[in-house]
Amino acid sequence: MAKTMKYWYGSFLLSSIAINILFTIYLYVGGGRGGGGLSWSEKAAAEAEAVAAISCSGHGRVYVDSSVDSEGRLVCECYDCYTGIDCSQISPTCPANADSGDPIFLEPFWMQHATNSAILISGWHRMSYRYDDNPFMSTQLENYIRKMHSIVGNAITEGRYIVFGIGSSQLLSAAVYALSSQNSSSLPSNVLASVPFYPMYKTQTVFFNSENFQFEGDTNAWQSNNSTNNLDVVEFVTSPNNPDGELKKSVLGGKTIYDHAYYWPHFTPIPAPSDHDLMVFTLSKLTGHAGVRFGLTSIFSKSTRFSIQKRHPLHCNFFNETRLPSPAYAWVKCEREEEEDCTAVLLDAGNIIGRPGSWFGAKDRYVRLSLIKSQDDFELLMQRLTELVSLENGTIDTIGSGGGGGGGECALSWSEKAASEAEAVAAISCSGHGRAYLDGSIDSEGRPICECYACYTGIDCSQMSSSCAADANSGDPIFLEPFWMQHAANSAVLIPGWHRMGYRYGDL
Ligand SMILES: Cc1ncc(COP(=O)(O)O)c(C=O)c1O
């Protein structure tokens, strides 16, 4: 059962990844198809627009899968510091929470592109374990990923395998397993990362507690105490680095996992495509533009108490100009000798929650502040930091607030394109012996093509191979397809482009 659920979630996730990537490509390079009259998809489209129109005062969001109140009405999920049924009440003493790396800052971008980023999933979407003739993984998704890297110019994918995971955290852990010593008689592989490093490397390596590997901390410290000649090492290289945004390079030059979570042009200039044996990317931090976020530098430039990491301009091949990075995090240092716990200083003096330096293998004189949460979080953080820094000079000035989100409202507007696309794909005749999907294979003119059931071939799956063996092997639950088709109007769901951008659900 657990395995089946895993495949369900896996294939739903892969479909949604494929669709997200497809739309990202649409948005970067243009494209898209028109719509037509709606029938079964209209209900889902109207529902999605009604949900999107629920006012959370611009300080929260409702999703089609949000919690409901005792009367079955969807409940607003408020951003930090806001409460109330419509998130309209701000708690003035609430700390500016700059702890987690939730990429909510991308929400307004997807709302602006509501029409092109919505997707309507029919009730019978991909009921098989497999994609077309291929095992488990979508070649269409693989093609989109390769195309996206080639458009952005951030990775060489030719001649390389692409492996999908449920988030990159899973793949980072799998990579440690794959690269570490397999021989039970040999010493465990040493897993290393340069300080300051993303804490999950340590957490996962320690958590999985294998006799094949052990976390040994800072690469540079380890190198000065050990010879690499006869010791087995697996090195994490995070580029750009979390927390300080540096484009890191390998120290040891051996077995290396390149974590490129932030190697996208909205976080850093892309000087050259990454070209390594093992590169890990994630959608989590990809889909948006963070260009405006580094107003922080000017606040800290007035301070002698706090400093922030330096940013180095680099030529970016994607934008074809020299640019400063817009890192996802500020890596702040407390400069006063007595202020050794910078997280506590920011909390006590500034009412700001950050993540302590020691989580990243560095001193607690450092603290990481997340800049990629919602506009509300960012504005509160800027306000609190401005006040804190102003206190040094005996004056208090507050900064004005910037523009807010925006959103899709009113009856059937932005959702119509997704709804009519879904109906157009569903209407493609595969002679009842196959199915075309929105995220399925396409012909040379970009039209979705039929994925035929076993024993059927041809452009519309009309040709049956008489010698074909009756395949009663897999447990593919396709028998349920007609049921979902009968209930098309009630089983479709329209997912807007800004659906659940945070790592967490509601308050959890
Ligand atoms: C450097 C780095 N790698 C990986 C991840 C995990 O990403 P995912 O959401 O894909 O698991 C993060 C998330 O914050 C990160 O900062």
At 297, the amino acid letter reads T
Residue from 100, 173, 238, 285 to probe ligand 1 pocket by mutation (most atoms less than 8 Å from CB): 285
Distance 238 CA to ligand 1 centre (A): 10
For ligand 1, atom 15, the nearest C-alpha belongs to 261
- Measured by CA distance, the residue closest to atom 13 of ligand 1 is 101
- SS3 assignment, position 486: helix
| Six token digits for residue 321 | 């100009």
Higher pLDDT, 58 or 153: 153
Query: Distance, CA 2 to ligand 1 centroid (Å)?
Result: 25
- Is the pLDDT at 479 greater than 60, yes or no? yes
Give yes or no for residue 398 having a pLDDT over 90.
no
DSSP sequence for 153-191: T-B--TT------SSHHHHHHHHHHHHS---TTSPPEEE
DSSP string, 205-230: HHHH--TTEEEEEEHHHHHHHS-STT
Looking at residue 194, what is its pLDDT? Answer: 97
C-alpha 169 to ligand 1 mean position (Å): 6
CA angle, corner 19, sides to 150 and 431, nearest 5?
115
pLDDT of amino acid 125: 87
Tokens of 178: 């794959």
Predicted confidence (pLDDT) per residue in 127-151, tens digit = 787 887 666 788 888 888 999 999 9
Mean predicted lDDT score pLDDT of the chain: 83
Q: Which atom of ligand 1 is nearest to the CA of 168?
A: 10
Nearest residue to 308 (alpha-carbon basis) of 287, 288, 284, 324 = 324
What six digits make up the tokens of 327? 């890192």
Pick from 148-162, 198-212, 406-420, 483-497: least confident = 406-420
The SS3 assignment for 460 reads: coil
155-159 contacts at long range (C-beta below 8 A, 24 or more positions apart): 155/260, 155/263, 155/273, 155/274, 155/275, 155/279, 155/281, 156/273, 156/274, 156/275
| Confidence label for 80 from pLDDT (cuts 50, 70 and 90) | confident
Among the ranges given (87-96, 348-357, 368-377), the one the predictor scored with the smallest mean pLDDT: 368-377
Least confident of 125-129, 178-182, 329-333: 125-129
pTM over 0.85: no
Dist CA 63 CA 76 (whole Å): 8
| Residue whose CA is at the smallest distance from ligand 1 atom 16 | 242
Q: How far is the CA of 132 from the centre of ligand 1 (A)?
A: 31
Residues having CB within 6 Å of any atom of ligand 1: 101, 167-169, 198, 238, 242, 259, 261, 282, 284
Mutate which of 102, 198, 264, 274 for ligand 1? The one with the most ligand atoms within 8 Å of its CB, which is 198
Q: Mean pLDDT across the stretch 398-419?
A: 55
The percent of residues above 90 in pLDDT, for the chain, comes to 42
Question: Which band of pLDDT confidence, cut at 50, 70 and 90, is reported for residue 19?
Answer: low
* Residues 6 or more apart whose Cβ sits within 8 Å of residue 425: 436, 437, 438, 448
CA of residue 235 to ligand 1 center, whole Å: 16
Ligand 1 center–CA 61 separation, angstroms: 23
Ligand 1: centre distance to CA 285 (Å): 8
Q: How far is the CA of 26 from the centre of ligand 1 (A)?
A: 25
CA-to-CA separations, 491 to 129, 246, 497, in angstroms, rounded:
20, 46, 19
Query: Pick from 323, 400, 420: which is nearest to 120 by CA?
Result: 420
Q: Per-residue pLDDT for 179 more than 90?
A: yes
> Which one of 200, 260, 329, 359 would you pick to mutate in the ligand 1 pocket, going by the greatest count of ligand atoms within 8 A of its CB?
200
Residue 348 pLDDT > 90, yes or no? yes
Residue from 78, 36, 74 nearest 60 by CA: 78
Helix, strand, coil percentages in the chain from 3-state DSSP, rounded to 5? 30, 15, 55
Average pLDDT of the residues in 252-270: 94
> Do residues 42 and 493 touch, judged by C-beta distance below 8 A?
no
